[in-house]
Chain A
Amino acid sequence: MPPSSSELSLVRAQPRILRRLGREANPGDLIFRALAGLFATLVLITLLVMAVQMGHASLPSLRRFGPGFITSTEWDPVRDLFGAAPFIYGTLVSSFLALAIAVPVALGVALFLTELAPTWLRQPLAFVVELLAAIPSVVYGLWGIFALAPFLRDHVEPGLAKSLGFLPFFRGPRQGYGMLAGGIILAIMILPTIASVSREVFRAVPDTYREGALALGATQWESLRDVVLPFARSGLVGAIILGLGRALGETMAVTMVIGNRTEISASLFAPSYTMASVIANEFTEATGDLYLASLAEIGLLLFFVTLLLNIVARLLVWRVAMPSRAK
């Protein structure tokens, strides 16, 4: 049984109660509080130092290109011309493509594991799903090169082009390597994250709610749709955000299959590039101040894109959480 709301508020009110009882001066509590506070601040400081350092490192490029850096599609190290637009586009599209594929599957997996699967199957299946998260990304990348990309080229892309070729997303030469391969690899990699967090969220839905719905004559589908899913909504958004975060920052596996071309193309078959990939690809061999600064600025932009998406998601969670939990 989860704690009732009165129990929860009692726990939250503990510091206030202690203060009222005049027991604040306990040295053990004080030390613990200071220590925990220090650790919490450390995270903030690290984040701040990183942002400042990256900002400092990207100064030459900020000065040279200004805000045009974000919109320019030119990336030509030979001529010292740098622009981030293809990388921002590639990062966002591959990540959202990954979400579009992974979220329905992950929610299905999580629902099956908590609500529908026979009890003896739940643990082993959950274990296998979580095992996916333990595979190193370079292994995913190799699998992408040797299995996924050829499979997409020979079996998936021709079919898509034939049936959905009237859309701009499924046109052009079919090479296997490209945005579609990158999105699918990412989807597989974020699937376990979303699935296991969603599973925990579904498990937190009190059984009394389900029983209540069933007692009122709801079918299992109706109880899931009208009771379990709404209750779990804010938690699910959190799960998706975790997955998105992983997709935005994933480097190695994506680099190995996305085709690494600084082009913006509507077609999912076309090669693309991500922000994390270009840094991983070019940082070690970059010479020249402007080149290094531009790579640092890409890092800074990735930082901000991630931050921005997290803030938006947080706001989203608060909005959907409002009606169900009065604060």
Chain B
Amino acid sequence: MFILLKRIILAGWLAFWRQGALTLATVFVLIMTLSLVTSLYTFNYLTQFIIKQVQNKVDISVYFKREAQEEDILEIKEEIAKIPQVKEVEYVSHQKGVADLLQRHPELEDSVEETKDILNLACLNIKAFQSFQYASISQFLEKEPFKNFIEKIDYLEKKPIIEKIFYLTSKIKQIGFVISAVLAIVAFLLTFNQIKIAIFNLKEEIAIQRLVGASNWFISGPFLVQGLISGILACLITIFIFSILFYFLSPKLIDILSGFDLFDFFKKNFYSIFLIQLVTGMTLAIFSSLVAIRKYLKI
């Protein structure tokens, strides 16, 4: 058994080494496939990152009546934080509210000075997990005892834009998934076809192996080993290409990608990316070899 395994591995290695052009073509196609898989993985991460950033900017604000004291507002904040649909509640004090307003609109300084005793600019900014949850949060706050303190909830004003953002981000996710699935199928077919062509070129050799009495495993084993080596080599080359690419592209793309640091992402996810490439490369090569060779083992 051991001697058979040793011979299969050695034959696979020799075939890998000697069938230069075919091996090169297979490794090249595998590199293309793995690059596509890595790009899809990165694209998926990037999309999630941007979607999260956009969704994080979505919130509703609750404004309070003049007579509402800070303690009342903080108490309400505590209550709101207990609602399961609420992801985050941020308290903005009257002073901070005034400062923020003046920072955005310095021309309003005189008006703010005149009305500072009758206006309460303290507010609570609430973020929900999903867009549809804002309506129920808003309804909850319109009931007793909160409504006695609350001047206004800007949910209705923001509703169309919130729904639009969530609709768009969910569409982007769906489209991303469909594109990924289609490209993954294309990548698989590319690899499968390349390996099929490589094995087709050796069908005469397989026929001779059958005629001299080689068992199915003795014939297909070296092809599997060859596929395995091609998969590993393609994985190593792809990971090297991507590390160089991300290292140099990252500083240039960081602004375009809303602060997404490609190289940092690559470093943090190195083992996952490496594993995905390795498993994809090896599985594709072995599976394609097995399926392609089956046809020629029927002699």
- B is bound to A: no
A interface residue numbers (CB < 8 A to B):
none
Q: Which residues of B contact A (CB under 8 A)?
A: none
